[in-house]
Amino acid sequence: MLPSEFNVSPFEFNLTLPSRWSLLVLPIVSDAYSKAAGALGMDPDRLSTLLDVSAEVIGNISLQGFQDLLERSIRPLIDAKTSLMSSSLQDLATAKGTNLTVLQNESIFDVIDLLLSVPIQNVTFIFNWTAQQQTKLKNYTVDDMLYYRGGRLQGLGDETLFTLANFILTETLLPPTPSPPTLAPCKRGLTRVSKDADCTGNPVFKDHLAGLT
């Protein structure tokens, strides 16, 4: 009588019984796990690799167990990805109790490590950065980005870490042009014909001539 009163099939009605709830857990967990993987830009198998959790464990996990896994391990990864892609460098630095001046000589790779709340190896896994790409990110500092992007440090702070990392990985960056050295003035009686030439002349002879006049 009850299934027909609720306008459901006997099978659907049986699923509402506490003794049959386990039949609902698998599709709920499977769907939620797929959505969590999608939020990280990967499939469930790759997420399992990142978490070091087998598909069998996920298939047999309870709802409470999955909730714990989500809050403890998955959500921090999603938050880190969102922060890297959407939060400004300035906001991330402030949240960590530091500032851009302190970070100016740090590589972009190290800044990501310092400002995000998950291990850097998890970040590189999420974005699938190769060893070569990671090395490239280690070779350019925040100060280098000022040179290549132009502007002031405050303006750079409005950019996201993802924008800066993507700039390094996709652009061909020529070595910075070194500033010319400041040359000492020539001694009395010597002259320099160009900015990169040595001082020439005979100071002793010039001084002697000056004394005769």
- Burial readout 150-180 (b: 16 or more C-beta within 10 A, e: otherwise): eeebeebbebbbbbbbebbbeeeeeeeeeee
- Note the pLDDT of residue 3: 45
Judge whether 114 and 102 are in contact, CB under 8 Å: no
d(CA 58, CA 70): 11
pLDDT bucket at 198, cuts 50 / 70 / 90: confident
Percent of the chain at pLDDT above 90?
Answer: 58
Q: Is the pLDDT of residue 76 over 90?
A: yes
14-23, 46-55, 169-178: which range is least confident on average? 14-23
d(CA 209, CA 37): 86
Q: Is the pLDDT of residue 116 over 90?
A: yes
pLDDT digits (tens, 9 = 90+) for 145-163: 999 988 899 899 999 999 9
d(CA 57, CA 70): 14
pLDDT bucket at 70, cuts 50 / 70 / 90: very high
- β-strand partners of 175: none
Between 18 and 48, residue with greater pLDDT: 48
Cα–Cα distances (Å) from 50 to 5, 8, 44, 45, 127, in that order, read 47, 41, 10, 9, 12
